[in-house]
Amino acid sequence: MKNIRIAKDVTWKEVNDHVDAISFKAEEIARMSDKHAVLVQLRALRDFERKDNYDLNLVRNHDIVMNTPALWAYSFYFGHLHFIDFNEKNISWNADEFNQAKRGYEIAKPEDAD
């Protein structure tokens, strides 16, 4: 999976597909039986998202993000990610955070944004 494209012509479809792919990947990871592998892959997914968030928050990208509704809504996504300690006990919580964030993103986007 590639990080989100930060450009003024990014489409809702691109961002929607990106958010959907992240949630799907988190669900797929959570269903794995090897708990150590689950933790490794969830951390990698979290780090992938941190990179997107970092890029969205760069000063040079501020105007693009604030003036591109799809990217602004995607930046809203990160406000709904609240991970706790990455250990076997918290796998469900941390995996579900991606779906929680997706719900926040869905609230931020207009109904006709597909």
Q: CA-to-CA distance for 3 and 11, rounded, in angstroms?
A: 14
Residue 33 has pLDDT above 90, yes or no: yes
For residue 86, count other CB atoms closer than 10 A to its CB: 16
User: For residues 70 and 10, is the Cβ–Cβ distance under 8 A?
Assistant: yes
Mean pLDDT of 58-86: 92
pLDDT 10s digits, 38-61: 999 999 999 999 999 999 999 999
Q: What percent of the chain is predicted at pLDDT more than 90?
A: 78
Q: CA-to-CA distance for 58 and 54, rounded, in angstroms?
A: 6
pLDDT 10s digits, 97-106: 999 999 988 8
